[in-house]
Amino acid sequence: MSSTYYKLNVTDRKKFGTKESNQIRKKGFIPAVLYYAGEKNNHISIDKSVFFHALQSSQRVYEIEQGKEKQFVMIKEIQYHPVTDEIIHVDLMRVRRSEKMTILVPLVLVGSSIGVKEGGILSQSINQVEISCLPTNVPENIEINIENIEQGQSLSVGDIELKDKEIELLTASDINILTIQAPGGAEDDVEEAEETEGDEESSPELDTPDQKNENNESS
């Protein structure tokens, strides 16, 4: 968790529209909007190079300065150009350090499981979970130790043990995170099913009492 925040260089925008936005981008900035519940939206621009570095950092909450006042924000949405994949617009949401926020954080698997060492296959269903916490308590990630997971075993969200009791997991506890599957397990099941079907087809049919009577009469 971080007590310091990556600072984004932002400036207020007075003009809006496609033409103005394109001019902003040519100058090395990204058009953006800053939201906060109950307050008027602020149109700003963000230094492109600084924003790229912020995205590569492990932080989820960033610091900006408006009118010599520090504010804390998180990314609400990023819009990309459909052809070039260039970032063309960003929506930021203001957060208060004294108010809990909802955010997605990545899951990091730690260690090599017993099941994988024995030839099992790790199948991961999700790689992030939703949590509620104060902006000052946002973890870079949540680590999950998988060393003791054997073949045929699974881990769900309910198995996560958070060190910080101030953090609340919002993702449903029964959602699967990962499973260690036995090698060739699915194929073995299919082969077993085919063998069972073959046995059923090859087993002799028994005559019913009516069929026995008909056979005796015809003889």
For residue 217 the two structure tokens come to: 């009469």
Report, as an integer, the average pLDDT of 123-135.
94
% of the chain residues with pLDDT over 70: 83
Predicted local confidence at residue 218, as pLDDT:
47
Of the pLDDT bands very low, low, confident and very high (cuts 50, 70, 90), residue 41 is confident
Which DSSP symbol is given to 204? P
Q: Which domains does the chain have, with CATH numbers?
A: 6-95 (2.40.240.10), 103-186 (2.170.120.20)
Sheet holding 101-110, edge to edge: 142-145, 101-110, 128-133, 168-169
76-103 mean pLDDT: 91
Place of tokens 């054997």: 150
Measured between alpha carbons, how far is 4 from 140 in angstroms, rounded to an integer? 12
Cβ atoms 50, 8 nearer than 8 A: yes
94-128 pLDDT tens trace = 988 788 888 889 999 999 999 999 999 999 999 99
| Residue 133 vs residues 11, 101, 128, 139, 142: alpha-carbon distances, Å | 29, 6, 15, 9, 13
